[in-house]
């Protein structure tokens, strides 16, 4: 084990209020902080394990997200700074989503089947990416985080309340197992 490696960033879980807050745009003055944050976010995401992580999920209120769908089990890291959906299909697709901020909770979410996203990459270059399938859903899910929206905000109130009650119960049981900490 690398004793010089920084501690993993903790991933915030519901009901942390940061998760419901709109993140601010990354500005040029944030460049050093963002450069230092990106590898730490990837480390936390891979350790969780997950396929996407937005800065607010680690307590940083910046419009930054990292994604890696690991196609063919090979890393394919994607960094999106100030991402925005600039086009979305009228056709919808429903797929099961989960979230590192709602551990162990899943629900079917309906979103546009295809999106085009404009963003800046880690080097600051402006990029556009058109996606469908899992990548499309993941991009929309992570950009939602930057706006303080969780996947449970996109499902029925009944399903949302069931998930929140189940999560609260699991968190309570975990605290009891941990000795009340």
pLDDT tens-digit readout, 65-80: 999 999 888 999 999 9
The 10s digit of each residue's pLDDT in 71-113 is 888 999 999 999 999 999 999 999 999 999 999 999 999 999 9
Confidence of residue 34 (pLDDT cuts 50, 70, 90): very high
Instruction: Quote the pLDDT of residue 4.
Output: 58
- Annotated catalytic residue, options 91, 128, 142, 170: 142
Architecture field, domain 17-175:
Alpha-Beta Complex (3.90)
Confidence of residue 148 (pLDDT cuts 50, 70, 90): very high
Q: How far apart (Å, rounded) are the C-alpha atoms in residues 145 and 10?
A: 16
**Is 142 tagged catalytic?**
yes
Q: What is the mean pLDDT of the chain?
A: 94
Q: What is the DSSP letter of 25?
A: P
Q: How far apart (Å, rounded) are the C-alpha atoms in residues 18 and 35?
A: 21
Write out the DSSP string of 112-149. Answer: ESEEEEEEE-TTS-EEEEEEEHHHHHHHHHHHHHHTT-
Is residue 13 helix, strand or coil? Answer: coil
pLDDT > 70 fraction of the chain, expressed in percent and rounded: 96
């Amino acid at each position: 084990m690398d004793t010089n490696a920084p501690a993993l960033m903790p991933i915030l879980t519901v009901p942390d209020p940061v998760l419901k807050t709109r993140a601010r745009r990354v500005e040029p003055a944030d460049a050093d902080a963002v450069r230092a944050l990106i590898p730490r976010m990837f480390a936390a995401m891979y350790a969780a394990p997950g396929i996407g992580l937005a800065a607010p999920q680690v307590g940083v209120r910046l419009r930054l997200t990292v994604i890696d769908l690991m196609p063919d089990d090979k890393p394919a890291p994607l960094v999106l700074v100030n991402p925005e959906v600039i086009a979305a299909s009228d056709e919808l697709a429903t797929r099961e989503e989960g979230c590192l901020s709602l551990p162990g909770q899943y629900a079917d979410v309906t979103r546009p089947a295809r999106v085009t996203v404009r963003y800046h990459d880690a080097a600051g270059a402006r990029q556009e990416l058109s996606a469908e399938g899992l990548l499309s859903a993941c991009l929309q899910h992570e950009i939602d985080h930057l706006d303080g929206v969780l996947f449970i905000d996109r499902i029925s109130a009944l399903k949302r309340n069931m998930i929140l009650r189940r999560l609260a119960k699991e968190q309570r049981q975990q605290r009891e197992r941990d000795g009340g900490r």
